[in-house]
Amino acid sequence: MKVLIIEDEQLAANSLIRLLKTIQSDIGIESEILTNVSNAIEWFTKHPHPDLIFSDIQLSDGLSFSIFENIVCDSPIIFTTAYDEYAIRAFKLNSIDYLLKPIDERELRLSLQKYSKASTVNWSEQFKSFLEYRQQPETKKYKTRFLAQQGQALIPVNDEHISFFHKDQLIYLYTFDGNKLIDEHETLDELESLINPALFFRANRQFLIQKNAVNKIKATHKGLLVELKGTNLQIEVSREKATAFKNWML
């Protein structure tokens, strides 16, 4: 199997290569890592297409979807993303796989298994359907009001008053005025699919943070440390998610 990687962050590309080699030591990986839309389009006009493509969504010169809007590609694509919830919903609808950064080895194994079992899929037509779906106007209404528990009482909280969600034994909702409430949802994944991604960011597996709660951002060798207003918390954002987080903050 020949694999092509489209990724503009070298650390993320190296991490993916290590995981792929761990899972399947004899896997063939194209020596050139494509880092932007323009050189990827040029590459596809000059080289045989690979058996499988791993592509980041957000590249330095635009979304990687633009590559496949400008070429005819018969290769299956597994997208990697740190934050694009709209894209993820579309992938689920069209059975195009995706991996959330930082990429987990178990999830990568499942994606490769899915690829190996789907030999009869017309990937070109499937991706065409995805592009058509993506161009439709977004009509989803995000959840803006939450019922959270404090003792025996249920308290309504609007999203603009929420500083962050934290997953511990339960999911806790923290407000800007210092209240810690128990949220009604069971997983952060469920919450993430309901709330507005322009307002909330999945910093890591334990925290969903609100944009207006961010007080200070510090770069570290592991990625970023995000300080939240009115707390002593410093929340870690991985190197793989750092660029997405900075773009989200703009």
The reply to whether 177 and 223 lie within a common domain is yes
- Alpha-carbon separation of residue 232 from 168, 213, 217, 226, 235 (angstroms): 17, 12, 13, 10, 10
Range of the domain at 237: 145-249
Q: What pLDDT does 85 receive?
A: 59
The reply to whether 224 and 170 lie within a common domain is yes
Residue 149 belongs to domain with CATH number: 2.40.50.1020
Mean pLDDT score, 45-69: 89
The reply to whether 118 and 7 lie within a common domain is yes
Host H or E run for residue 171 = strand 171-175
Is 216 inside a domain boundary?
A: yes
The reply to whether 68 and 162 lie within a common domain is no
The reply to whether 117 and 164 lie within a common domain is no
The reply to whether 192 and 157 lie within a common domain is yes
Residue 73 belongs to domain with CATH number: 3.40.50.2300
Phi (first) and psi of residue 121, to 5 degrees = -75, 135
Q: What pLDDT does 133 receive?
A: 62
Contact predicate 54/78, CB 8 Å: yes
Contact predicate 217/209, CB 8 Å: no
- Indicate the average pLDDT of the chain: 87
Given pLDDT bands bounded at 50, 70 and 90, which one contains residue 140? low
The reply to whether 9 and 130 lie within a common domain is yes
End-to-end CA distance of the chain: 40
Determine the Cα–Cα distance for residues 13 and 7; give it in Å rounded to an integer.
Answer: 6
Host H or E run for residue 239 = helix 239-249
Q: What pLDDT does 170 receive?
A: 94
Of 90-94, 149-153, 198-202, 219-223, the one with minimum mean pLDDT is 90-94
Q: What pLDDT does 121 receive?
A: 67
CB atoms within 10 A of CB 233: 18
Is 140 inside a domain boundary?
A: no
Contact predicate 2/51, CB 8 Å: yes
The reply to whether 126 and 172 lie within a common domain is no
The total of structural domains in the chain comes to 2
